[in-house]
Amino acid sequence: MVSSERAAPPAQAPQQVQHSGSRWLQLAMGIVCMAMIANLQYGWTLFVDPIDAKYHWGRAAIQLAFTIFVVTETWLVPVEAWFVDKYGPRIVIMFGGVMIALAWIINANADSLTLLYAGAVVGGIGAGAVYGTCVGNALKWFPDRRGLAAGATAAGFGAGAALTVVPIASMIASSGYQSAFLTFGIGQGVIVFVLAIFLRPPSVVVPARKKQLNLPQTKIDYTPPQVLRAPIFWIMYLVFVMVASGGLMTAAQIAPIAHDFKIANTPVSLAGFEMAALTFAISLDRIFDGFGRPLFGFISDTIGRENTMFIAFGTAALMLLTLSTYGHVPIVFVLATAVYFGVFGEIYSLFPATSGDTFGVKYATTNNGMLYTAKGTASLLVPLASVISASYGWQAVFVVAVALNATAALMALFVIKPLRRSFILGNEATATEPAAKDARTA
């Protein structure tokens, strides 16, 4: 637990709260910025085969660029977030817009794997700058609705690619992947750069009193070094990794899983639509993922963060168990993966909101950025799924993921919840003791 000597003094009561429509405009611009970087992750799959067809580097070598992107995007967020907390969101978002445009310009001209990997690094730096800044800014503008704000912002990243996947695929088919890289890279970068001009942090914020029972929120603004010394941070980090590893594994391996189950091309009819099972599953996964992030964020604003985590992680475990047992049935595969991604994406709304509640507003962008690196750590575990499946089959992989999600659900309710409340209330009581003592002796 952070000592009172290290903790900043309790925040003074502000004179007024910024509840004007300006904060909703700030949220909307953040969502658009997130949608502009979504293709760097979710649109990448469209370019893999065209690049391989031109240079014959092999899928594995080309996909290494994706891993480099994810690691760079997540692990550098704390550094980029430090600049946000110190200098504001505008300059960092502008930098991110330039970098994401530059990344796809590099990709368009990459005639070697080294250059392709360099583009991945540049893109990761730019995407991390935009992602971490937009989520952190949402936490600062919406202390009373952190779950909804973080969820809506993350939804821009989770579902934003849906708006441009078809145009990108069409341009690749008609003009080649280099033209798609150039056109969309420059376009996305320009939009982010322009919106950055209007982004700003709030000058005054305060937690909502009516939700204090379910949403304990600290009055102390903890610095990043103080957060890193707090055991509750590392417990949250561990749970984040446990849940994220299963979701990243499923997203990366859903096609091989469907092919190994021999259902990838099996037609599935649902709600008047008929598609191949794999195509149907991927389409619904993106929709449910994008919808689930703000939904669970909103729910957590009402019933509490840990209670919502328990529901989401428990449902995820149930869906993974269903896939391990009945995943070879096409309709079950489609629906189970859709529901799973609907409850998986909430980690990108619940953990930022919980971080803001626990560690305060002033350094929210940096503190959440440190927690967000758990996604990069989890991505390093994804290759283990291929190793396990090769030896024991996909059912063994699902069983491991079920165990991780079930354990995470129990830890949210019986470990994170009591420790987080103890951390918040205990430190605030300690911080106010000197002031109370001075008042009695005055």
Strand partners, 247: none
Which residues contact residue 22 at a Cβ distance below 8 angstroms, ignoring those fewer than 6 apart?
none
Average pLDDT for 226-236: 96
Instruction: Identify the CATH homologous superfamily for domain 19-208.
Output: MFS general substrate transporter like domains (1.20.1250.20)
Answer yes or no: CATH 3.30.70.100 is held by domain 216-442: no
Average pLDDT for 178-183: 94
**What is the per-residue pLDDT for 15?**
37
276: DSSP letter:
E
* 434 has pLDDT over 60: no
Residues 143/202, Cβ–Cβ less than 8 Å: no
CA angle 128, 129, 133 (to 5 degrees): 110
Instruction: Kindly report which listed range (17-21, 184-188, 266-270) carries the lowest average pLDDT score.
Output: 17-21
d(CA 139, CA 149): 7
Which residues contact residue 115 at a Cβ distance below 8 angstroms, ignoring those fewer than 6 apart?
106, 109
- Digit-coded pLDDT (tens) for 327-384: 999 999 999 999 999 999 889 889 998 998 999 988 888 898 899 899 888 888 877 8
Residues 215/6, Cβ–Cβ less than 8 Å: no
d(CA 202, CA 185): 30
Q: With bands split at pLDDT 50, 70 and 90, how would you rate the model's confidence at 401? A: very high
Amino acid type, 420:
R
**What is the per-residue pLDDT for 1?**
46
Residues 336/125, Cβ–Cβ less than 8 Å: no
Q: With bands split at pLDDT 50, 70 and 90, how would you rate the model's confidence at 432? A: low
For the chain, give every domain's residue range: 19-208, 216-442
**What is the per-residue pLDDT for 95?**
96
Query: 3-class SS at 360?
Result: coil
Cα→Cα distances 143→201, 205, 220, 243, 335, Å: 12, 7, 14, 25, 35
* 79 has pLDDT over 60: yes
- Please provide the DSSP assignment of 149-215 as one string: HHHHHHHHHHHGGGGTHHHHHHHHHHH-HHHHHHHHHHHHHHHHHHHHTT----S-----GGGTTTS
Residue 363: burial class (beta carbons within 10 Å; 0-12, 13-18, 19+): buried
d(CA 81, CA 77): 6
Q: With bands split at pLDDT 50, 70 and 90, how would you rate the model's confidence at 100? A: very high
Instruction: Kindly report which listed range (126-140, 167-181, 248-262, 392-406) carries the lowest average pLDDT score.
Output: 248-262
* 441 has pLDDT over 70: no
Hey, which of 290-304, 367-381, 405-419 has the most confident mean pLDDT?
Answer: 405-419
CA atoms 55, 40, 372, 154: torsion sign: negative
* 112 has pLDDT over 70: yes
**What is the per-residue pLDDT for 40?**
87
Q: With bands split at pLDDT 50, 70 and 90, how would you rate the model's confidence at 169? A: confident
Q: What's the predicted TM-score (pTM) here?
A: 0.77
Only one residue has tokens 């964020």, namely: 297
The reply to whether domains 19-208 and 216-442 share a CATH topology is yes
Q: With bands split at pLDDT 50, 70 and 90, how would you rate the model's confidence at 63? A: confident
Hey, which of 152-166, 205-219, 383-397 has the most confident mean pLDDT?
Answer: 383-397
CA angle 127, 66, 119 (to 5 degrees): 60
* 226 has pLDDT over 80: yes
